[in-house]
Every structure is written in C-alpha cells, then in structure tokens.
Structure 1
C-alpha cells in the first residue's frame, strides 16, 4: 500500500505518526490538553524507530506542549529531514519560552511568525504540509488565509497546506486551491465521517485521520475500572470528549468494542491493528495518524500495514453493530 501525494510529488505509506502525545503535559491546570507525562528520550527513540520501519509522515502542531512536540520531532529526525514529510499546524500561537498559549489568530503577521517559530523548533528550513488548526475560522476568511500561505510557499517556507476541520463545507473552501494537499479530520469506528470521506475521494487528496483509535479506547487496554491521571486530556471536561468521561472510559462504547472485537482482530490482528484496518477500508486516500509514547506503541501501529484493510463485508458488519 502506498499513497501518492500529487501536490508534493511524493509517495508515502498510508500511515503517519501523530505527535500530540509526545508534547507532554500542557494546558491550564483545570483543563489539561496533553497526555500526561512523557520521557523525551523515549519519544526520540520511538520516532527514530518509526522512520527506520519506513514511516515518513509525521504530524504535529505548534501548540502541542507549546512547541515541545515540534522540538522533540526536530531533535529526533533533523538528520534525515530530506527523507521525511513534516506536517504541522498554525492558528494557535504560543510562547515556547514561557510555555503558554496566545489564543487564536489567522492574521497575516501571526501566521508568518508562527511558521518561522515552527521552522526553528523543527530544525528545518521548510514545512511540507502547513495546516490551519482551528475550526472556528469562517469560510469567507479562507481566501485571506490562503493568500498568506501562498506568500510562505513562494518564499519556500512551506510546500503545501491544508485544514484540520471536521466540516465538509469548510474543507471545500480550501480544497479549491491547487496547493491544498490534505484535510485532517476525525475518523474511527465510532466517528464514521462518510461525507468527508466522499469529499476526499472526489478531490483525490490525502485524508489525515485524527483519533483513529478513539483517543486510545480502541486499543482494547481499557475497561470500566480504568482511571486516567488528572493531567491527561481525557480526564478533562471538554465538550467534544465522548470516549472518556473525567478519565473513565465510556461504558456504552466499551460494550460496542466487545461486540466487534472478534471481527477487527481477525487474521491475528491486535485491536489497534484492526481499528487502523477499518480506516484503510474506508478509502484509499485515508492516512491514519495514531499517537504514541514509546517504541512498543509505534511497532503495534506500523505492524498493521502487514495486514492491510478489512474487507468490505467486515466493515459493514462493524458499522451495523456500532449503529445498533
């Protein structure tokens, strides 16, 4: 399996590594936005292992750890920079010295400064895919945003761009531009965004899949007695947090997992590999970007490539169970 990214004239494996978790603990004390504590050296080893196993796409964002995720990624892979694709995001400027956020902004000066800050942290002189990170931007603002992105592209600071959004109408607004290479959106067994999948297929661009493992719920390692640490985002009270409730797994979804376990673990797959196989079965343009904190998680993700997608019949069976 390989995906050709026309805008970048490059082929990649249909799997990337999502670098949110390696940003560590961040966000307000009463609203954690990270995934609890991390070991930077372990993160670096995991990133290097992913590259050695053939992964070339790494997705991060300026705001993950207020720049820390980008710094770790830059430290790990700067020596193979010309052999990988880096996707990062803008729209949530931050101060990487004070480790604090600066709200949201898509003003031209702010975007350009964010880009240059990301280049510094990533230890590179160009970004392959520069993605708008905020969904609150209105469609009538996109032309101005893209005008700034085209300035950065002409300067050689970025090669292409995209939007991290779950709204098809907003995605269409940026997909009309030839240098738009990707749309990033939630897609997993519990979040079957069929309209967005169709849009990606129609435009034949890369669909980066956020949360392909439903924030870890589809890993199969949690049960009703699990309780996550307070500094984990899944212990927060964000409106969109449906997979966990104050650090406890969603019991209704846990029961659904048990009902589909036999199907998605067919052929010797792990739960993780079965969940990723479901994404690949949805479209040839889907590129899930599961998170990780260590080599073992990276290896479990990558080994899913050995099995490939689920069959059409298996997908239908899974979808029918989830709908019940």
Structure 2
C-alpha cells in the first residue's frame, strides 16, 4: 500500500496525511483493549502516511495521552499530535462529566497534558467542548497565550457553531474544527461548515464511520460488550437501531459494486465533502485499535464516488432516528439557532 496524500490544516497550519487516526478507543469506551496491538497500529499508521494522531486528556483519565506519548516522542519530526481539554471527569464518579473553559483551567490542563505526553509542545490543541457561560474570547485568548508561550503550535475547536467559529477565529487563527460528521450525522453542515470554508479552517470529522454502525460492525447496541459506551447512544438502541440499520443498505450496495468496503465508501464520501463545500481540507480521524482496520480505512482515500453514488447517499442522514448522544447539551447542535 502506497503512502497516502497530504493536505494542510488551515491556512497556515501543519501538513498532514489526508486521513488521521483517532486514538480514544485504544484506552477506553469501546470494550476490552489490547495495548500491544494498539501500539503496533500506531506504528503501521505512520508507515502508511498517517501523521495526525488524535487524543484528549479525558480519554482514560489521561491514560491515552500516556499511551501515545512514547510513540510520538520516538517519531517527533513526523507526527502531528492533537490533544484536547475542557471535559472534566472524576475518578471517583464514572458518570460525572463537566465542561470547563476557564482560562486558569486551560493553563493547568495544557501543562498536565504536556507532562503525560512527555512533550515540550503540542502541535494542535483543541477546546473539546464549549461552555457558553465562559466568554469565548477569554478562552481562545488564553489558548492563544499558550501559542505565544511555545507550549502549543496551532489551535482547534470541537463541536462549535459557525458564529462561534467566526468569533474565535477573530481572536486567534483556528487551524481545525473537529466535529462529528458522517453519512449519518450532518448537523455540522448547518453553520459550521460554511464558516470554516469562508475562514479557511480545515474540518477534522470524528466518528466518520458512525462509531462502527455504518460498517455493519453491529446492528444493535445490545450486541456490544457491557463496558461499551455505544450501548447508551439513542441511535443504536431499540426501534431506532432497527430502522437505522436498514439505512446502511445503500452504502453496502455501493461497496459491493465498487469492490470496496462500507467503511471505505463512508470515508470516501467525507473526503469529497471538501469539494462540495469549498473547504480547504477534510481530514477524517476514524478510530481503530487494529492494523487490519487501519489498512482498510486508508483504502477509502483512493476511492472516488460518482455523482450517482453521492446522490444515492444524500438522503440518509435526514432519515436517521435518534440523537447522537442521550444528553446533547454540550454539542453544537444544542446551540444552533
């Protein structure tokens, strides 16, 4: 397999492979983990041209940053490391989730991430979630100070609306917007994508495979392990799951006709959103813990869907039943006018 092509995040951001790797599941959320295979997957990804590796301080309560840190340090001149702050959890309360955008917290969070990663600088630092109670200019201003201090190279936001992206970009250049985007989830197109296209901000879609649902990896959350957080997502349970599973049929049909997989079709669809919406770059970060899945996903970078195929996939998102999360309060969708 040849190395994938490259693109730039933002107007003046880092150059990365056109597909990145989400590392969250290597530590938590998707059932049992295999550290050895996860580390081998990181190495294989780099061999194949993946250079954007995505983690967050909240994944495994810091364990994911500690996992990827040695890999990043070993290949520092080739890896673009992205991590995030803002979601607070408590070791003594597995159900607690808070959002903190306070400037003082941001300064502590970046130092903690740098320590866990064993790095002097973070390449791309995201605000993981937005707290509307804290003025956005104050939070982004504090993030900009981290760039001036040499602790961070580029800034990103996650799950923000178009107006919020414009407001933030006016305070400090934003290289990338990370939001859920897939054939199943297209809310980001309402205001954030047009704003990103206007400002020259790259899109970094997370969960581009619908958390595995688009690939047929499972058809109902009841099939998943007890510790898998997808068991609690409305789209994948009960009647919602049954109806949504039928929506995957066109993806499978196109995959069979093209000699590809459903994952490759879903990722190819996303790659072509850049041209559709006039974006400088769309760099999906499918998460996987296995080399075989990684190699399959990268095959999507070489698949170009026809106009007829794109038209067949177009109506799917509008027919999806159920919300992305049980609690949507911290998503951009909740703040769209």
Instruction: List aligned pairs for 1:141-160, cutoff 5 A.
Output: 141-160=135-154
Q: Deviations over 1:3-61 (max 9, x none)?
A: 2235555322221101111122xxxxxxxxx1112111211111111011110001111
Shift of 1:191: 1.2
Q: Residues 219 and 236 of structure 2 are in contact (CA less than 8 Å); yes or no, is this contact kept in structure 1?
A: no
Aligned twin of 1:253: 244
CA contact (8 A) 1:43 1:72 kept: no
Equivalent positions of 1:5-24 (< 5 A) are 5-6=9-10, 8-24=12-28
Q: How far off its partner does 1:188 sit?
A: 0.5
Q: Is the 8 A contact 1:222 1:249 kept in 2?
A: no
Counterpart of 1:276?
A: 267
SS of residue in 2 equivalent to 1:287: coil
Instruction: State TM-score, norm by structure 1.
Output: 0.86
Residue aligning to 2:44: 49
For residues 124-168 of structure 1, the C-alpha deviation after alignment (integer angstroms, 9 at most, x for no partner) is 111111111113335x61110112112111110001112111522
Q: How many residues align?
A: 307
Give the Cα separation in 2 of the matches to 1:160 and 1:225.
Answer: 37
Measured at CA, do residues 243 and 95 of structure 1 come closer, stay the same or move farther in structure 2, by a change above 3 Å? closer
**Unaligned stretches of 5+ residues in structure 1:** 25-33
Q: Is the 8 A contact 2:30 2:229 kept in 1?
A: yes
Counterpart-to-counterpart distance in 1, 2:89 and 2:171: 28
* Structure 1 match to 2:207: 211
Aligned to 1:186: 180
- The alignment partner of 1:86 has SS state of strand
Among 1, 6, 9, the residue aligned to 1:2? 6
Give the corresponding residue for 1:316: 311
Bigger Cα displacement from structure 2, 293-302 vs 209-218: 293-302
Residues 89-124 of structure 1 deviation map (CA, whole Å, 9 limit, x = unaligned) = 11124578x897783322222111110111111121
Unaligned ranges ≥5, structure 2: 276-280, 320-337
Number of the residue aligned with 1:83: 78
**Aligned runs of 1:120-135 on 2, under 5 Å?**
120-135=115-130
Change in Cα spacing, 1:8 to 1:73, as seen in structure 2 (3 Å) is farther
- RMSD in angstroms over aligned alpha carbons? 2.5
CA contact (8 A) 1:215 1:243 kept: no
Moved more, 83-92 or 298-307: 298-307
Paired residues for 1:193-232 under 5 Å: 193-195=188-190, 196-223=192-219, 227-232=223-228
Partner of 2:278: none
Q: 281, 287, 295: which is aligned to 2:291?
A: 295
Taking the TM superposition and a 5 Å limit, the aligned residue runs for 1:38-77 are 38-77=33-72
Deviations 1:173-205 (A, max 9, x none): 223344310111111001123233322222222
Note if contact 1:89-1:130 (Cα within 8 Å) is conserved in structure 2.
yes
> Could you say what secondary structure the match of 2:98 adopts?
coil
The separation in 2 between residues aligned to 1:21 and 1:260, in whole angstroms, is 24
Inter-CA distance 149–299: structure 2 relative to 1 (3 Å threshold): same
How far apart are residue 76 of structure 1 and its match? 2.3
* Alpha-carbon spacing, 1:321–1:107, altered in 2? closer, same or farther (3 Å): closer
Whether contact under 8 Å (1:190, 1:214) holds in the other structure is yes
Q: Paired residue for 1:30? A: none
Contact 2:165–2:196 (Cα < 8 Å) also in 1: no
Say if 1:147 and 1:296 are closer, same or farther in 2 by CA, change over 3 A: same
**Do the aligned partners of residues 178 and 322 (structure 1) sit closer, same or farther apart at CA in structure 2, a change above 3 Å counting?**
closer
